[in-house]
Amino acid sequence: MTMRTIDDLDVKGRRVLVRADLNVPLDGETITDDGRIRASVPTIKALAGRGAKVVVCAHLGRPKGEPNPKYSLKPVAGRLGELLGQDVAFAADVVGDSARAVVGSLEDGQVALLENLRYEPGEESKDDATRRAFAEKLAALADLYVGDGFGAVHRRHASVYDVPELLPHAAGGLVVAEVEVLRKLTEHPERPYVVVLGGAKVSDKLGVIANLLTKVDRLLIGGGMAYTFLKAQGHEVGGSLLQEDQLDQVRGFLDEAVRRGVELVLPVDVLAATEFSPDAEYDAVDATAIPADRQGLDIGPRTRELFASRLADARTVFWNGPMGVFEFDAFSGGTRAVAEALIRAEAFTVVGGGDSAAAVRRLGLPEDGFSHISTGGGASLEYLEGKTLPGLAALEE
């Protein structure tokens, strides 16, 4: 797979549409985690520094095809400007009068941000013609296209999939870096190769588990999804998160792991709480003996030690999904223990975006303690599942 990079484009004096991933968490108009904005800065800065008129487009949340002030990118424009050290002009619409006026007034080296792409129904439309019609309006704002929103490349959306067909295009630095890392994980990983999966649902990770069982040496399962594995082994899980409809599938994974000689490691103890709340009473109990009136909200101290020991000799690690409800301080210890074990490991360590990346920042851990923190959780998982990602396919030559 070969993709041109921004070094292959002559950008001076030209309007360059950059599809970035600026889908950050907001509390009102306050950005609570600017990791994705920071990750987008190098490509935007490089283009502006070479005299491009940079037109950034991105989505935020799920406004469902119509304007909604709650999902405006205006606060992002302010933060992006601070990080770039220059003003970022903000268009109050996506392809309307404001967008055309703002883009038309850009001088070489200046940057503008369009309003939320998902205000337009054409962005996410399943109908090819509707999506294409919107893509044409978006493409009309620019001379060149740069795909740098790795967190969206698994979506067949207008700004990701259709626009690159309409303009000369290249991959931004962030996308290039992400793909290089994912190739390292899939083509010739150094062994032992260990994958740690957490998060709420097994169903979100069925494909990736099935594919990884053919590639990894060890699979550590924590978070909410662990309870479906424990139940599949016949254990009581109380009121813990459980996907009954996935039990047969999970039994199949357990059998497949044995057949392939993959070490599948489950929690041996959990923090079992009386309710789902930050100050719930809890005890550390055996994972095989969760009381019927309790729910597991984190892996327990013995599991933290077990997981750390199974990561200590790893040469390659991919981690996706927290080990517990890390947003509650009392139940953040398992996620912290896994992250700290990754930092200690002499391995190529990849944090797979989404909640895992958010947890690293929330827990105040050093980001440079990991080899790579992905900006795209879903995109990373689909790549590791072996799927073709529409946004990457569109950037290929």
Asked if residue 354 has pLDDT above 80, the reply is no
Asked if residue 397 has pLDDT above 80, the reply is no
Tokens representing 132 are: 């294409």
Q: Stretch 105-109: mean pLDDT, rounded? A: 98
What is the DSSP secondary structure assignment for residue 160, as one 8-state letter?
Answer: I
Please pick, among 14, 15, 19, 36, the residue that the annotation labels catalytic.
36
Annotated binding site for substrate: 21-23, 36, 59-62, 118, 155
- Arithmetic mean of pLDDT over the chain: 95
Spell out the residues 6+ positions from residue 327 whose beta carbon is closer than 8 angstroms to its own: 278, 362
The CA–CA distances, whole Å, from 153 to 9, 76, 148, 200, 201 equal: 21, 20, 9, 23, 22
Selected residue with higher pLDDT from 135 and 382: 135
Cβ(150)–Cβ(173) under 8 Å? no
Selected residue with higher pLDDT from 385 and 226: 226
Q: Stretch 277-290: mean pLDDT, rounded? A: 96
pLDDT, tens digit (0-9, with 9 covering 90-100), for 301-323:
999 999 999 999 999 999 999 99
Spell out the residues 6+ positions from residue 126 whose beta carbon is closer than 8 angstroms to its own: none
- pLDDT > 70 in the chain, percent: 99
184 is an active site residue: no
Domains of the chain listed by start with CATH number = 6-176 (3.40.50.1260), 189-385 (3.40.50.1260)
Question: Which single residue is written with the structure tokens 């903000």?
Answer: 90
36 is an active site residue: yes
Give the range among 53-57, 88-92, 199-203, 328-332 with minimum mean pLDDT. Answer: 199-203
What is the DSSP secondary structure assignment for residue 115, as one 8-state letter?
Answer: S
Annotated binding site for ATP: 205, 296, 327, 353-356
The CA–CA distances, whole Å, from 245 to 153, 221, 232 equal: 29, 18, 11
Amino acid letter at 63? P
Q: How far apart are CA 279 and CA 328, in angstroms?
A: 8
Cβ neighbour number for residue 164 with a 10 Å cutoff:
24
Task: Categorize the per-residue pLDDT at 1 as very low, low, confident or very high, splitting at 50, 70 and 90.
Answer: low
| Predicted pLDDT at 324 | 96
What is the DSSP secondary structure assignment for residue 3, as one 8-state letter?
Answer: B
Tokens representing 262 are: 């993959």
Annotated binding site: 21-23, 36, 59-62, 118, 155, 205, 296, 327, 353-356
Asked if residue 73 has pLDDT above 90, the reply is yes
Q: How far is CA 21 from the centre of its chain?
A: 10
Please pick, among 172, 199, 239, 378, the residue that the annotation labels catalytic.
378
Please pick, among 137, 184, 201, 251, the residue that the annotation labels catalytic.
201
Q: Stretch 125-153: mean pLDDT, rounded? A: 97
- pLDDT > 90 in the chain, percent: 87
Q: Stretch 373-390: mean pLDDT, rounded? A: 88
| Predicted pLDDT at 357 | 87
Q: Stretch 151-157: mean pLDDT, rounded? A: 93
pTM greater than the 0.85 cutoff? yes
pLDDT, tens digit (0-9, with 9 covering 90-100), for 213-245:
999 999 999 999 999 999 999 999 999 999 999
354 is an active site residue: yes
Task: Categorize the per-residue pLDDT at 148 as very low, low, confident or very high, splitting at 50, 70 and 90.
Answer: very high
Please pick, among 354, 376, 377, 391, the residue that the annotation labels catalytic.
354
